[in-house]
C-alpha cells in the first residue's frame, strides 16, 4: 500500500475487484456514483447497504431495518463492515452476501461508505480476497456550500456540516485516488479514467482545501443575518 499515489489503479487492472467511494457531506458523491453505475451497468453495481436510519426519499438505495434487525444481522456475521455514523447516530453496514451476489454476476461492487468502513474493508481485504481501490470525491467549497443550501437545511446545520468537512478532509490522504466534482459529466468521466488506471489522479492540496473551507465558514458567519446569496 503506497500512501499518496494512484499507481495502485494501474497495477490492479486485473486484480481490482471492489471499489470504495467516500467524500464529505455535500460533495455530490451519490449523484456521481449513480450516474457512473448507470453508464457502466454491465461492469459495475452499487452494493446496497443496510441502515437503521429512516428513509428520506423514495429512491434511496438502502435496505432499511430496525435496530433489532441490524443487531441480529450483526450477530449472524452478515456484515463485511459496519459503522455508527456520527452525523445521524445511526448504524450502517455492507452485507457480505450483497458483495458476493454482485461478484457472482461477474460485476465489480461499488461501495459508497465512510472512512471507517473503508478501513475495515481494507484490513480484511487479504482474508476476503478483495483488492479494493478507494476513491475520495472532493468538490470546491463553493459547490459544497451550494449543494448543502439546496437541501434546504438551516444555516446552523450547514455550518456544522462544513465544520465536519474540515475535520474529515484530514483523512483524504489515505485514499488511493481523487475525483474533483467540478461538474457532473467531468466527474463521471474522471471516475472512469481513474478506475481503469488510464489517468493518474490529481492529489488535491489538502491544506489549501481546508483553508478554503475555513474561509467559507467565516464568510457565512460574518454575513449571516444580512442575507446570503448562493
Catalog residues that contact ligand 5GP under the rule CB under 6 A: 49, 53, 81, 83, 85, 87-88, 92-94, 112-114, 116-117
Q: How far is the CB of 177 from ligand 5GP (least distance, A)?
A: 17
Pairs from 150-155 (Cβ < 8 Å, separation ≥ 24): 155/220, 155/224, 155/228
Which is closer to ligand 5GP, CB of 23 or CB of 197? Answer: 23
User: How far is it, in rounded angstroms, from Cα 199 to Cα 197?
Assistant: 5
Measured in degrees and rounded to the nearest 5, phi and psi for residue 56 equal -95, -45
- Return the residue matching grid coordinates 474493508: 121
Q: How far is the CB of 83 from ligand 5GP (least distance, A)?
A: 3
Which is closer to ligand 5GP, CB of 191 or CB of 197? Answer: 191
Which is closer to ligand 5GP, CB of 21 or CB of 197? Answer: 21
Nearest-CB residue to ligand 5GP? 117
Please provide the size of the chain in residues: 230
User: How far is it, in rounded angstroms, from Cα 127 to Cα 69?
Assistant: 27
Name the DSSP class of 25.
T
Q: How far is the CB of 44 from ligand 5GP (least distance, A)?
A: 17
Whether the CB-CB separation of 174 and 3 falls below 8 Å is answered with yes
Which is closer to ligand 5GP, CB of 5 or CB of 116? Answer: 116
Q: How far is the CB of 214 from ligand 5GP (least distance, A)?
A: 21
Which is closer to ligand 5GP, CB of 113 or CB of 139? Answer: 113
Amino acid at each position: 500500500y503506497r500512501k499518496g499515489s494512484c499507481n495502485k489503479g494501474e497495477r490492479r487492472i486485473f486484480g481490482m475487484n471492489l471499489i470504495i467511494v467516500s467524500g464529505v457531506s455535500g460533495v455530490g458523491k451519490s449523484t456521481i456514483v449513480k450516474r457512473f453505475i448507470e453508464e457502466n451497468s454491465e461492469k459495475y453495481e452499487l452494493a446496497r447497504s443496510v441502515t437503521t436510519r429512516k428513509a428520506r426519499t423514495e429512491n434511496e438505495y438502502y435496505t432499511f431495518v430496525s435496530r433489532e434487525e441490524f443487531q441480529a444481522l450483526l450477530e449472524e456475521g452478515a456484515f463485511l463492515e459496519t459503522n455508527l455514523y456520527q452525523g445521524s447516530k445511526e448504524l450502517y453496514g455492507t452485507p457480505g452476501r450483497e458483495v458476493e451476489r454482485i461478484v457472482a454476476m461477474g460485476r465489480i461492487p461499488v461501495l459508497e461508505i465512510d472512512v471507517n468502513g473503508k478501513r475495515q474493508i481494507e484490513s480484511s481485504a487479504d482474508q476476503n480476497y478483495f483488492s479494493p481501490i478507494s476513491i475520495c470525491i472532493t468538490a470546491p467549497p463553493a459547490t459544497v456550500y451550494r449543494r448543502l443550501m439546496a437541501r434546504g437545511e438551516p444555516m446552523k446545520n450547514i455550518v456544522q456540516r462544513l465544520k465536519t468537512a474540515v475535520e474529515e478532509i484530514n483523512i483524504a490522504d489515505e485514499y488511493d485516488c481523487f475525483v474533483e466534482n467540478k461538474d457532473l459529466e467531468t466527474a463521471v468521466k474522471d471516475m472512469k479514467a481513474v478506475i481503469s488506471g488510464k489517468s493518474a489522479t490529481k492529489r488535491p492540496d489538502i491544506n489549501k482545501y481546508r483553508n478554503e473551507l475555513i474561509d467559507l465558514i467565516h464568510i457565512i458567519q460574518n454575513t449571516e443575518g444580512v442575507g446570503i446569496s448562493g
